[in-house]
Structure 1
Amino acid sequence: MKQLKTLLVDDEYSAIEGLAIRLEAFSQIEVVGYARNVTEALALISKTEPDLIFLDIEMPGQSGFELIKQLQPETCPAIIFVTAFHQYAVQAFEVRALDYLLKPVKKERLAEAIARVAVNLDIGSSKQHMLEVADIIQTGDAAGLADTAPAYRIEQEKLVIQDGHHPAQLIPYREIVWIDAAGDYMCVHTSTETFVMRARMKSLINDVLPDGFLRIHKSTIVNLQYVVKLEPLMNSEYNLVLTNQKSLKVSRTYSRQLKLSLCGIRSD
């Protein structure tokens, strides 16, 4: 495979430097430039015509998403977001980034992301897919977006996320701490990473996840093994605290079942 002309965009020089050092281990990557903001990035994209951009999200002035808006879908490079914040994962997924890496980036995840780019560019699907999604967003064709979205299935003791273009991601159920929703998308959180999938909360809890997972809110599922305490609020609502100190709200609708389930776990 030919080398991928690659641009690094991040407002923190140390982040650019660290990523550039890690990328030296990948012979298929040719770093052709660095940018600290959207204006610099646009100038470099015009000059170098990169195949791939590692893109930060929160930057002074304009964000990484605003950079993508200024690119033509038919000529848009493959995008891998690199950020310290998991909450943008759904939005990144909607613009069809090929991957979403959380800082600090692990070598194994970086290798996986680059492999995805290689597969997509080899079959010529990445830029075409960006163009298709742009058309869907402009026309409001929700059914068209659903046709391109990832699916999920059960395989032994792992949740498998497969979108038809990328290699499958296999996440052991025991490593899933909680899952939260944004529309038809789910963010699946382990103690170290966040994965994004297209699914409905009801389908996950009824048809996919094993015993030990419980819905605590219309948009949240938790793995009960990671719950350390409940803090009462008003109106029969609670804050649930996980082993990683993450606090999640328990709505009144689900509070009774949660308490019964926790009592069952504690008595085992």
Structure 2
Amino acid sequence: MKQLNTLLVDDEYSAIEGLTIRLAAFPQINIVGHAHSVDEAMVLISKTIPDLIFLDIEMPGKSGFELIKQLQPESCPAVIFVTAFHQYAVKAFEVRALDYLLKPVKKERLAEAIARVSLRLDRPDNKQHMLEVRDILLNGNSAQQSEPGSGYRIEQEKLVIQDGHHPAQLIPYADILWIDAAGDYMCVHTQNDTFVMRARLKSLINDVLPDGFVQIHKSTIVNLPHVAKLEPLMNSEYNLILVNDKSLKVSRTYSRQLKLSLSGDKTG
């Protein structure tokens, strides 16, 4: 089994401690250092030359994205982002992160992420992959500039997300709380995880999602069984509260159809 020299970068000492404990279950992971800032990480990277970095995003001074900008593409390690915030997921995958884990990290998701790293590092085009990362960060070139491919397919009661690089992810429709859009990408949210897929909102609504998914905003879809309540605002707009207490705005354009759908859902 190939050993992966691994660096942990997070400004929270407790986060590094917790991740260290979880990684102890994976014999292929060899932790070569801990860093609490981008500058500290750069020093350790030059000394240890890691194969893999578990990287926080929001840190004082410089973010995790700033760290990637400073890396040399020919020797850039594989990167797995570890963060408490789902809103950076789209950008993380634009810079070709191999995975995006939400804190607290589950052992199952950690195992999946490590497997992806092993697959990527064994590929002959790994160096080209790192050059693309560098180009995106420095020049602003993004995967969104090309036409979106088929980032999903339908398999019985599950949404199958696939991007050609990672193993397919199967998400039961019943587990999806809401989906929001960012350009050609979608963030699919369940109770505990966020998955990123390359697709357009319109194609999901028209061709993929089953009954029970309703658009509430130009960039948001919700799964009706997970709606807890509606709170009225001004101008016929609403706040929609999900069962996990997540609040989403319902625009006036979609409010009437949402209320009809909820009424039908509750009476049916």
Question: What is the TM-score when the length of structure 1 is the normalising length?
Answer: 0.94
Distance 1:192 1:142, change over 3 A: closer
Tell whether the 8 Å contact from 1:78 to 1:127 is kept in structure 2 after alignment: no
What stretches of structure 1 move > 6 A for 4+ residues in a row?
147-150
Distance 1:133 1:18, change over 3 A: closer
Counting matched residue pairs gives 268
Unaligned runs of 5+ in 2: none
Does residue 195 of structure 2 align to residue 195 of structure 1?
Answer: yes
Q: State the secondary structure of the residue aligned to 2:146.
A: helix
TM value normalised by structure 2: 0.94
How far apart are residue 133 of structure 1 and its match? 4.2
The CA deviation string for residues 187-207 of structure 1, in whole angstroms up to 9 with x for no partner, is: 110011111111111011111
Letter in 1 for 2:37: N
Map 1:1-268 → 2, pairs under 5 A:
1-135=1-135, 146=146, 151-268=151-268
Instruction: Tell me by how many angstroms 1:141 deviates.
Output: 5.8
Describe the superposition over 1:22-69 as per-residue Cα deviations: whole angstroms up to 9, x where unpaired. 111111111111111011100011111111000011111111111111
CA offsets per residue over residues 104-151 of structure 1, 9 Å max, x none? 111111000000000111114444213124435666666785379771
Amino acid corresponding to residue 260 of structure 1 in structure 2? L
Q: 1:150 to 1:44 in 2, by over 3 A?
A: farther
Measured in 2, the distance between the counterparts of 1:15 and 1:3 equals 23
Provide the aligned C-alpha RMSD in A. 1.8
- In the TM superposition, residue 240 of structure 1 has moved relative to its aligned partner by 0.9
Change (3 A) 1:12 1:150: farther
Which shows bigger deviation, 236-245 or 135-144?
135-144
Q: Is contact 2:180-2:188 (8 Å) kept?
A: yes
- The letter for the 1-side match of 2:220 is T
Question: What SS does structure 2 have at the residue aligned with 1:231?
Answer: strand
Structure 1 residue identity aligned to 2:52: L
